[in-house]
Amino acid sequence: MGSSGPLDGITVVDLSRALAGPHASMMLGDLGARVIKVESPGGGDDTRSWGPPFVGPDDSISTYFLSANRNKESVVLDMKDPADSNVLARLIRSADVLIENFRPGVLDRLGFPVARLTELNPRLITLAISGFGDGGPEGERAGYDQIAQGEAGIMSVTGPDPATPTKVGVPIGDVAAGMYGAFGVLAALHERERTGRGSVVRTSLLGALVGMHAFQGTVWTVAHRVPVTQGAHHPSICPYGLFHASDGVVQIAVGSESLWRRFAPAFNLPVDDARFAVNSDRVRHAGELREAVDAAFAEFTTEALLEKLDAIGVPAGRVRNLQQVYEWDQVRSQGLIIDVDHPVLGRMQLPGPPLRFFDIEGSEWHRTHAAPPLYGEHTTAVREEFAP
């Protein structure tokens, strides 16, 4: 693999803001694409003002913005200004990918409908991310992650009990839409190699969250049962979830009959009790079994319990806070923390990309990452580069 990455030579014009679109463009930037982030006058990306926490002089830099904008250039353009609109048109002519997450129809009103984008650049791949999809009776709705989590059913299967619908602790709808969007862009770039023509890729927060329903979706579509939250336990496997040691909590995954037959006798559980004979029985009697497991685990400290579970080969783990995650040697060994040089904050660490690339000899490609840009940091340089 070349030192510049698998997307070396690809240029992305990113008109998006907040999180779904910026996450997609960041993924492409991580892979070596050049990402030019176009921000509006008056402050730019909304997330630059989202906080606290803020850092830097006068607490002026949002940590939220820093989370989704590494490896990008920032240029300020007023899309309603004819001169700036012309700069954007020249950017589009030279780009491979355009990313936008306006409400459906807004880009058209700004003078860049698909027909014009195609006229400017027939090879352009356009990624459009919306809240609830393009078209349909509610396609015009604004998309915000927590609202989408509720509307897409994610909150109904998350939380301590069915009466307490709970959002996921990270903006999973935004992140998933960005991931699906980047995946679609890569597929469209591959297709372009065959056809020579660009295309439009569309996804949404709603689509991404429904796409992540996994087994919960088929509980309804096939079995016609409405799934509800099981708290910190799996609804279809038992015991699988969070249990209490004497000084904390431990999670276990007894995901097969062979694991059950190792696990049960090790903790004096009735392995041949008819209530617990096979997984479907254990799920039907989950309350009783979970109480028995908690009682058995209460005799152990967290560390002693994890050692015992490891010794018998039962998958288990602790529940870490984010400080513990980022200080964990395993996380660092996987390149999940990166060092960047920020023009104001200096040397700092960011969460890193989850993909790693190796050539057939086993050598790993290492990306040199750039810090998220200051607002308009590259405006002058980009304007000069794309001058008429």
Of 16, 70, 25, 26, residue with least CA distance to 46 = 16
Of 24, 38, 128, 21, residue with least CA distance to 7 = 24
Catalytic annotation, pick one of 46, 134, 174, 339: 174
How many C-beta atoms surround the C-beta of residue 69 within 10 A?
25
Is 339 catalytic? The answer is no
Residue type, 89: A
Residue 122 near residue 198 (C-beta atoms within 8 A): yes
The strand pair at 364-365 and 357-358 is best described as antiparallel
Question: Any bridge partners for residue 45, and if so which?
Answer: none
Of 16, 12, 183, residue with least CA distance to 98 = 12
Residue 46 near residue 64 (C-beta atoms within 8 A): no
Burial class of residue 222 in the structure, from the number of CB atoms within 10 Å of its CB (0-12 exposed, 13-18 middle, 19+ buried): exposed
Residues labelled as active-site residues: 174
